[in-house]
Amino acid sequence: MAALARPRDGRMIGGVCAALARRFGTSATTMRVIFLVSCLLPGPQFLVYLALWLFLPTEKPAGTAW
């Protein structure tokens, strides 16, 4: 499994679904559909998305040592 970081490419809004898709080995479209369907259920989905957007680091550019 890949490290959990928001990618620089393949983002739609914040890159959270793309990061989760890479982490769990699915496509970003699948993860986005799962998120949209989960929004029909009661719960804090939007708050979790916002928290992940704020706290997940952005993927480091290729070629940087730091």
* Percent of the chain surpassing pLDDT 90: 55
Q: How far apart are CA 19 and CA 41, in angstroms?
A: 22
Residue 8, Ramachandran bin (φ over 0: left; ψ between -120 and 50: alpha; else beta): alpha
Please name the helix (run of DSSP H) or strand (run of DSSP E) that holds residue 23, with its range, or none. Answer: helix 16-24
Provide the whole-model pTM. Answer: 0.79
More confident: 60 or 51:
51
pLDDT of 1 reads 60
